Structure 1
Amino acid sequence: MTLSDLFESIAQNPLPLFLFFIALPLIAWTLGGLATGSRAVESWGMVFAVLVYAACIPGIFAVTLNVYLFLFERQSIWHANLLLQVVPVISMVITLLLIRKKIPFDLIPGFGKLSGFMTLIAALIGIMWFLDRLRLIAFTYVPFSALLIGFVLMLVLIRFAWSKLF
């Protein structure tokens, strides 16, 4: 099954996915109401962590997909699939806003890694877009393993520089 096949399958039956993205902010709002009277807000960290990851993984994927489709594939905005490209991002933003009102993101396990992952994806897409615009063609006898090692080193360098910058 390809990604295109998966998207077509979802387009045939969109209700479960739509209900999932509607349920995430509703659950965050409900849990926020339950956690209001609680003195141990830190204990809610794991519960909210599951909700954050359930919202952020599809949301980050949708943002990455949108950037790829609009920058590299040159897809028109008029051909965007709202359920797969817009609704996950909106659901992620609303869910994160509702959770942030109840608990600081520092208390959510692994949230720093998630934000670091988002910045790494953004940096890589920026580099790939820049290289795409250069229209640089190179013929080389460098082994693939050396290119792969160089790519990994570039990722480590970007991550290190980004952490020092911010």
Structure 2
Amino acid sequence: MTLRDVFETLSGQPILLFLLLMAIPTGAFLVNLWSGDTAEEIWKWRYVYAVLAYIACIPGMFAFTLNIYLFLFERQSIWDMNLALQVLPVLTMVSTLMLIKRKMPFNYIPAFGKLSNFLTMITAVMGLLWLIDRTRIYAITYVPFTYILVGFVALLLIVRLAWKRIF
């Protein structure tokens, strides 16, 4: 079974996919209602928030990087986007993180920094691969490898700084 087969199977049942993905922000909304208003009550729910953040971010980050790959490398037209598989997970991730942030700062969610570090690494690698793909640097190059390495580290730091400012 290929990834294309999995996507075709999921695309065949968009209602089920929609219900599964919408259950995550609904769960975050319900946890916000049940967690109370005092800091001690909210603190008890931090692991539930962590699970919800991971459940939302893993498909969301995958869909985000898949979109980048499809648009930059495969040259997919925006008219050919599969909304259920390419847009809905990203919207689910954003809405869940917004709901979680209303109650608890991301600093207090266990291991949330690992998610942002992971997305930063994926973004930096995709940016580097796109740069290499566009400049044809892999075919003929007179650029020393240390310059490429310094550029990658600079790109990684820029993306990490931007990510911290967003969230």
**Same-fold call, TM cutoff 0.5:** yes
* Aligned position for 2:11: 11
Which whole-Å deviations, capped at 9, do the CAs of 1:17-76 have from their partners, x for residues lacking one? 210111111111111011123533222110010000000000000000000000000000
Aligned length: 156
Preserved contact between residue 123 and residue 158 of structure 1 (Cα < 8 Å): no
Deviation for aligned residue 1:161: 4.5
Q: How does 1:45-124 map to 2 (within 5 A)?
A: 45-124=46-125
Could you tell me how far apart the structure 2 residues matched to 1:164 and 1:60 are?
Answer: 15
Cα deviations by residue, 1:76-121 (Å, 9 ceiling, x for unpaired): 0000000000000111101100010001111111101110111111
Residues of 2 paired with 1:49 and 1:90: CA distance? 18
CA contact (8 A) 1:24 1:91 kept: yes
Describe the SS at the equivalent of 1:16.
Answer: helix
Superposed CA RMSD in Å reads 2.7
Inter-partner Cα distance in structure 1 for 2:160 and 2:116: 15
Separation in 2 of the partners of 1:23 and 1:160? Answer: 33
- Aligned CA distance change for structure 1 residues 7 and 42 (closer, same or farther; 3 Å): same
Scaled by the length of structure 2, the TM-score of the pair is: 0.82
**5+ residue gaps in structure 1?**
140-149
Higher deviation after alignment, 13-22 or 72-81: 13-22
Per the normalisation by structure 1, the TM-score is 0.83
Runs of 4+ in 1 over 4 A off after TM superposition: 156-166
User: Could you tell me how far apart the structure 1 residues matched to 2:62 and 2:156 are?
Assistant: 23
Cα distance between partner residues in 2 of 1:63 and 1:37? 33
Inter-partner Cα distance in structure 1 for 2:55 and 2:74: 28
> How far is the alpha carbon of 1:16 from its aligned partner?
2.0
- The answer (yes or no) to whether the contact 1:46–1:108 under 8 Å persists in 2 is yes
Matched residue type, 1:42? W
Letter in 1 for 2:121: L
Conserved? CA contact 1:36–1:102, under 8 Å: no
